Structure 1
Amino acid sequence: MIRLKKMFTGIVIATTSLISINSAVAADYPPHTINMVAPSGAGGGWDLTIRTVAKTLKDTGLVDANMPVVNRPGGGGAVNLSYMQTQVGKGDLISVYSPPILLTNLTGLTQYSYKDTTPLARLITDYAAFVVPENSKYKSIKDVMDALKKDPKSVKIGGTSAAGSMDHIQFLLVAKAAGVENLRNIDYVSFQNGSLIAQALGGHVDLISTGLGDVAGLVESGKLHALAQTADKRIGTGLIAEIPTVKEQGIDVIFENWRGLFGPKEMSEEAVAYWRDTLQKMVATPEWEAALKRNSWDDAYQDDQAFSEFLGETNDQYKALIKTVFGR
């Protein structure tokens, strides 16, 4: 009996020590500085999203840590995803991603995928938008598709993601649904250095394929004219609410551009719990609600567990999508 008692006491001590260690780790999080990463150049949808998150967390006092925004462009997000593999287990890097974290892997642009990260939360849904300079000869998305049916090289498409990634794929989906053939021959040019808008205004590309939130301000200012967006309904207010859907124009496509936050692979349970609690609070604030309205974003919040399940299901859907568009 005495021996058993000693064994039991030892177990209690060991367990108590483990709890103390875990508490110490939890108390040390968050670190003094957390790098908030946009895996793209300045001015795109990822950049806008991560800056909005960082500002909201600061403005609401939910996070006291320094949160500098870091731009790490290249490969449609693949460069940053590769860098994240050097940060395994760390908690001082939070990156925003959207469908390209799946698409770049499925199309062979990178060996890494969402499985090589720690999904933290899905936050918003944006929609694809197709915009042209205000003096463009194209007045509707149908005009663009008619031109492509005659000659797939006749319209130069610009985007901020790599070929085979977000901005490219969303346009090809619409083109396929519109009956355009020879999709691989469509001229798509990637601008990941923040110069896309200038390229369009300078006449170097005919149409921009991007996220609606990314160009809402330019559309409202009149510098760009939106031909269509890919929601299932009209969204937003003012001029944004006047943008027709592609479905209204006889093209049966809906495309959602969700965005969420990811940490490095094997992020600690304490860090994951911290972000679960903090982001749940953030999405309930008036400041976040105002950001959704300002950027024409739909609320699409999911916590880490629901987001991970969503990513698995969506990855399967995109795999079928890639096969449909590219035949592989």
Structure 2
Amino acid sequence: MRKLTFAFAHLLIAATTLGAMSSASANDYPPRTVNMVAPAGAGGGWDLTIRTVAKTLKDENLVSSNLPVINRPGGGGAVNLTFMQTQKGKGDLISVYSPPILLTNLTGMTPYSYKDTTPLARLISDYAAFVVPQDSPYTSINQVMDALKKDPKSIKIGGISTAGSMDHIQFLLVAKAAGVKDLRDIDYVSFQDGGVVAQVLGGHIDLISTGLGDVAGLLESGKLRALAQTADKRIGEGAMAKIPTVKEQGIDVTFENWRGLFGPKDMPKEAVDYWRDALQKMTETAEWKAAMKRNGWEAAYQDQAEFEQFLSATNEQYKTLIQEVFR
């Protein structure tokens, strides 16, 4: 497997003053402000998740701090993960992550992984979705796979994560299960600035590989048409509930996009305890449950200890999957 280049760590670490935050202490926690970080641009799944968390916590009066949302994109989440190494021992940064916190390390893009953070809680499961413009000639995921079997360069795939990260990997896993060969030759283009929708609507790429919750609004608006999603059953409501699974189209694979929250490594105990309590209460609120239904998310709450066990086991599973896809 060709390792991706990691070239930005020292630059990020040198810029610690851009995000300097005060340490938490037992006497003054929580601080006036806790930065809620989406490690990608606006409009994606991480952004939607962290904004929903922040809004619910404030609406339900579960957190007294100000909770501004900061977008720190780059490297499929690796830029923010590198920045978090400058915040060790602090308690006023919370970041959302999902499979890329494992994948960017396993593919060699960054030396850091979930072990260089403080996992707090797993919240939800989302799934992959593959969408095309309404005027696309492809009306099923099998038509896409048939085209790739004939010529792996015939279809250009776009996503907001980097090559070798989640949007790329989830499509390759489906392609592999469908019998597509030469997976390395499939064209994948990353648009981390959030411009992937404009690219597919403009005809510059053919298909978007993304999260199911990310496309709900566009599906309702009629601009895009979803060919498939990777849950083991149809989920959500409205246009989302009409999206067929890849399994019901004869491709025997599923892919779960879990999402959870992480603090900096060595986050103070009082901060960890505070957030574990607040997040557990948040998941029981009517507002959070309504957001999950609206976005096609499934409840997947795990408290810190169980979440850490999940991360360890999932990291090993992803390692095997990457070796199978790129061998």
Same fold (TM over 0.5): yes
Which residue of structure 2 lines up, in the alignment, with residue 153 of structure 1? Answer: 153
Question: C-alpha deviations, 1:62-85, integer Å up to 9, x for none?
Answer: 111111110000000000000000
Q: SS in structure 2 opposite 1:299? A: strand
Question: C-alpha deviations, 1:253-279, integer Å up to 9, x for none?
Answer: 010000000000000111110011100
| TM-aligned CA deviation for residue 128 of structure 1 | 0.2
Which residue of structure 2 lines up, in the alignment, with residue 250 of structure 1? Answer: 250
Higher mean alpha-carbon deviation, 289-298 vs 235-244, is at 235-244
Counterpart Cα distance in 1 of 2:319 and 2:85: 23
Matched, 1:180 2:180: yes
Counterpart Cα distance in 2 of 1:42 and 1:278: 25
Instruction: Give the letter aligned to residue 219 of structure 2.
Output: V
Equivalent residues in 2 for 1:111-122 (5 A)? Answer: 111-122=111-122
Report how many residues are paired: 304
| TM-aligned CA deviation for residue 26 of structure 1 | 2.9
Q: SS in structure 2 opposite 1:124? A: strand
Counterpart Cα distance in 2 of 1:132 and 1:278: 39
| TM-aligned CA deviation for residue 241 of structure 1 | 1.1
Counterpart Cα distance in 2 of 1:153 and 1:47: 31
Which residue of structure 2 lines up, in the alignment, with residue 102 of structure 1? Answer: 102
Counterpart Cα distance in 2 of 1:219 and 1:180: 27
Which residue of structure 2 lines up, in the alignment, with residue 282 of structure 1? Answer: 282
Counterpart Cα distance in 1 of 2:181 and 2:321: 16
Q: SS in structure 2 opposite 1:146? A: helix
Question: C-alpha deviations, 1:17-65, integer Å up to 9, x for none?
Answer: xxxxxxx933411111101000001111000100110011111111111
Counterpart Cα distance in 2 of 1:27 and 1:274: 13
| TM-aligned CA deviation for residue 159 of structure 1 | 0.1
Which residue of structure 2 lines up, in the alignment, with residue 323 of structure 1? Answer: 323
Which residue of structure 1 lines up, in the alignment, with residue 40 of structure 2? Answer: 40
Equivalent residues in 2 for 1:116-135 (5 A)? Answer: 116-135=116-135
Counterpart Cα distance in 1 of 2:309 and 2:216: 31
> Are the counterparts in 1 of residues 237 and 294 from structure 2 also a CA contact under 8 Å?
no
TM-score, normalised relative to structure 1? 0.92
TM-score, normalised relative to structure 2? 0.92
Instruction: Give the letter aligned to residue 195 of structure 1.
Output: G
Question: C-alpha deviations, 1:201-244, integer Å up to 9, x for none?
Answer: 11111000000000011112111100000000011112211110
Instruction: Give the letter aligned to residue 172 of structure 2.
Output: L
Which residue of structure 2 lines up, in the alignment, with residue 72 of structure 1? Answer: 72
Q: SS in structure 2 opposite 1:210? A: strand
Q: Which runs of 5+ in 2 are unaligned?
A: 1-23
Which residue of structure 1 lines up, in the alignment, with residue 223 of structure 2? Answer: 223
Counterpart Cα distance in 2 of 1:296 and 1:317: 25
Which residue of structure 2 lines up, in the alignment, with residue 170 of structure 1? Answer: 170
Identical-pair percentage? 78
Counterpart Cα distance in 2 of 1:134 and 1:248: 22
Instruction: Give the letter aligned to residue 44 of structure 1.
Output: G
Which residue of structure 2 lines up, in the alignment, with residue 60 of structure 1? Answer: 60
Which residue of structure 1 lines up, in the alignment, with residue 232 of structure 2? Answer: 232
Q: SS in structure 2 opposite 1:26? A: coil
Matched, 1:298 2:298: yes
Counterpart Cα distance in 2 of 1:63 and 1:238: 33
Which residue of structure 1 lines up, in the alignment, with residue 270 of structure 2? Answer: 270
Q: Which runs of 5+ in 1 are unaligned?
A: 1-23
Which residue of structure 1 lines up, in the alignment, with residue 137 of structure 2? Answer: 137
Which residue of structure 2 lines up, in the alignment, with residue 194 of structure 1? Answer: 194
Question: C-alpha deviations, 1:123-168, integer Å up to 9, x for none?
Answer: 0000000000000000000000000001000000000000000000
Q: Which has the higher helix share?
A: 1
Which residue of structure 2 lines up, in the alignment, with residue 20 of structure 1? Answer: none
Counterpart Cα distance in 1 of 2:236 and 2:242: 9
Counterpart Cα distance in 1 of 2:256 and 2:282: 22
